Amino acid sequence: MDGYLAGVPEDRREALVRLRRSCRAELTGFDEVMAYGMPAYQRDGVTEIAFASQQRYLSFYLLRSDVREAFAERLAGQDMGKGCLRFRQPDRVDFDLVRDLLRATAAGTGTVC
């Protein structure tokens, strides 16, 4: 994990370190692992959250469909794929939204896409 973060472009590192801190603080009972080449958080061996530095953006993978549905209104204005919230600029990561998504994920179990 530390190696991954050390290898990302410096202008993105602070945002990714902050994402990691948020995940570690909110996802009690989850295991922090590397999965698919990115930091990920698993519960009972199932990846529910991950993040990565992509070529053009930072990605935050919200793999629980029930959480995405519960936050549909707040996610509507975001750059979002099926399970990936994209932030094109590191300084524009909505950490309040991320925190709320993490808390909702940790609060219960649901279907992973």
For the cut 80, the answer to whether the pLDDT of residue 1 exceeds it is: no
Instruction: Specify the 3-state DSSP secondary structure of 27.
Output: coil
For the cut 90, the answer to whether the pLDDT of residue 47 exceeds it is: yes
Instruction: Specify the 3-state DSSP secondary structure of 109.
Output: coil
Query: Which percentage of the chain shows pLDDT scores above 90?
Result: 80
Instruction: Write the pLDDT tens digit of every residue in 61-96.
Output: 999 999 999 999 999 989 998 889 999 999 999 999
State the average pLDDT for the chain: 93
What is the distance between the alpha carbons of residues 111 and 25, in angstroms, rounded to a whole number? 22
How would residue 110 be classed by pLDDT, with cut points 50, 70 and 90? Answer: confident
> Hey, what CATH topology would domain 2-105 get?
Aspartate Aminotransferase, domain 1 (3.90.1150)
pLDDT value at position 2?
81
CA atoms within 13 A on the CB side of 2: 0
- The pTM for the full model equals 0.93
Residue 25 vs residues 20, 69, 88, 89, 98: alpha-carbon distances, Å: 9, 23, 24, 23, 12
